[in-house]
Structure formats: C-alpha cells, structure tokens
Amino acid sequence: MTGQHVTTVRFHLDVLTRESLVRQFQQPPRGRGRPRIGYTAVQRSVGYQDLAQVLADQLGSDPRRRSDAAIAAGRAWGARLETMEQPITSLDDAKDATMTMMSELGYAPERDPGSETGDQVLIRMTACPLRDLARTHSEVVCGVHLGLMREVIDRNGGRDTVNVRLHPFVQPELCVARLEALRTVLVPDAATMPDARPETGEPRIATPSGGRVAPQLRTADPQLRNGDAHVAKQSTK
C-alpha cells in the first residue's frame, strides 16, 4: 500500500513503536504459521469536545443562567491569561488587543476593513476550536468567548471606551465579534432651555452624581454595554 520495501516499513514501524506513537498487536491466526503482527496508531489527544459537552450540560436548563455562568467563566479565563499589558484608550487599541489574543488562542481572527468606521470594528472568527459544541450550546461557548474578550478589554482600561458583542454563526463556519466605541452625549445646559432664565451658556456633558462622564451608546440597544447581557438570543441574528 505504501510502495515501500517491507524492510523499510518495518524499520519505521519499529521507531514509531519505541516512541509510543503506534502499538503492536497479534492478528487472528490465518492458517498455519505464526500469527501476523499488526500495528495501530495510539490516540494520545484528550477528548476536549466530550469534556466541554459534559461541563456545558451541567450548567442547568435555563438559557439565561447558562449564559451568565459562561460569561463569568470567560472573564475568569481572561483574568488568568498572560496577555500583553497594553492600555486601551481607543477603538483601534481594543481591536489590536483582541486580534492578538484571539490569534494566540487559535481562533484565526481576520479584520473586515470594509465594515470599519470610526464607531465600530468587525473581527471575523474563522477557526473556533469549539465550533461543533457551539452549534448545540452557543449560549455557553459563545458566552465564554464574550466574557474573555470583555475581561481583556476591561482589564486594560477599555471598559468605558469600547463595548463588545458577539454574533455566532453569521455563516456556517464564521462568527463575528463587534467592537463599538462608547460615546458621550452632549445635552443642553439648563440655562439654555426656553423656560429657563435668559442666561448664556454652553452645552455641557451630562454626568452622574459622582461627577464622572456617563458613557452613552450609539444606539438604544440595551445589550450593547459590557454588562454581561444574555447572548443566547444573539445566535439567531
């Protein structure tokens, strides 16, 4: 079958046997003579898909709770990663950090320059290692990935700068991470309102009681914030 001389094949099989990459076994007798020796490959990989399936099944039956638990697990994972410490003060910073991290983890991220604006960046995830499990447990697998990205961005100072959303299976083999810049909203000063006293004033930035500028969203979708919103319903978008 290999086109190699039997002595050559036997030599290589002996080497593979010593390295524990194949094992020998006796084949059933076929008439007279000594039983023939067979070889089979040694399966050394751990069944991570099976393990992930078991763990996902243990998170309960409520999709919301499963998603919340998965996002929390993703954040815990992100906190343990030895990622580069790069301050995130802009959307471009968040994009670079996310691309680097997901590339190192084997997700083969790709930029989508045609969709980039000053307010959003799309990152295409083309090689999810847990894609098969995500097809049946998207709220768990995608929740972990979402929590991971959020934690890395937040940990490097981007919590009030960039929001992350994840869109599973926009194509059969493709998921998309959406990074969106959080923007402050200018509101008129009370002095400039029609029923106010006729005083001149400049627009001011609305701030909460603590005096901190409140980041506002580009759209009214309440799930855009990094507040660990439920991602189960996002798989249908």
Decide if 166 is inside a domain.
Answer: yes
**Residue carrying structure tokens 């909460």:** 208
34 and 116 share a domain? no
Task: Please report the pLDDT score of residue 198 as a whole number.
Answer: 44
**pLDDT at residue 72 in the model:** 95
Confidence (pLDDT) at 218 = 42
pLDDT given for residue 47 in this prediction: 65
Shared-domain flag, residues 123 and 156: yes
Report yes or no on 58 lying in a domain: yes
In whole angstroms, give the CA distance from residue 216 to residue 183.
Answer: 5
pLDDT of residue 216: 40
Pair 28, 61 in one domain:
no
Same domain for 83 and 159?
yes
Q: Give the structural domain span for 89.
A: 48-182+217-236
Q: Give the predicted TM-score (pTM) of the model.
A: 0.58
Rounded Cα distance, 138 and 118, in Å = 30
Distance between the two ends of the chain, CA-based, in angstroms?
A: 50
33/96 same-domain check: no
Same structural domain, 10 and 86: no
203 within some domain: no
Is the Cβ–Cβ distance between 235 and 63 less than 8 Å? no
Residues 67 and 148 in one domain: yes
User: Does residue 193 form part of some domain?
Assistant: no
The count of C-alpha atoms lying within 13 angstroms of the C-alpha of 158, restricted to the half-sphere facing its C-beta, is 27
Same domain for 14 and 79, yes or no, is no
DSSP structural state of residue 183? B
Q: How many domains does the chain have?
A: 2
Q: What is the pLDDT of residue 200?
A: 45
Q: Which pLDDT score, from 0 to 100, does residue 48 have?
A: 67
In a domain, 209, yes or no: no
Q: Are 80 and 170 found together in one domain?
A: yes
Kindly state whether residues 11 and 58 are assigned to the same domain.
no
**Domain assignment of residue 86, yes or no:** yes
Q: Is residue 98 part of a domain?
A: yes
pLDDT in tens, the chain (237 residues): 889 999 999 999 999 998 888 988 888 887 787 888 889 888 765 666 777 888 888 888 888 899 999 999 999 999 888 766 778 999 999 999 999 999 888 899 998 888 888 899 999 999 988 888 888 888 999 999 999 999 999 999 999 999 999 999 999 889 999 999 987 544 455 554 455 444 444 444 343 444 433 444 344 343 434 555 444 444 444
Q: What is the 3-state secondary structure (H, E, C) of 62-118?
A: CHHHHHHHHHHHHHHHHHHCCCCCCCCCCHHHHHHHHHHHHHHCCCCEEECHHHCCC
Asked if 96 and 115 sit in the same domain, the reply is: yes
Give me the residues paired with residue 187 across strands.
204
Assigned domain for 196 exists: no
- At 217 the pLDDT is 38
* Residue 148: CATH number of its domain: 3.30.1380.20
Q: Angle at CA 223, nearest 5°, toward 146 and 128?
A: 25
Do 110 and 76 share a structural domain?
A: yes
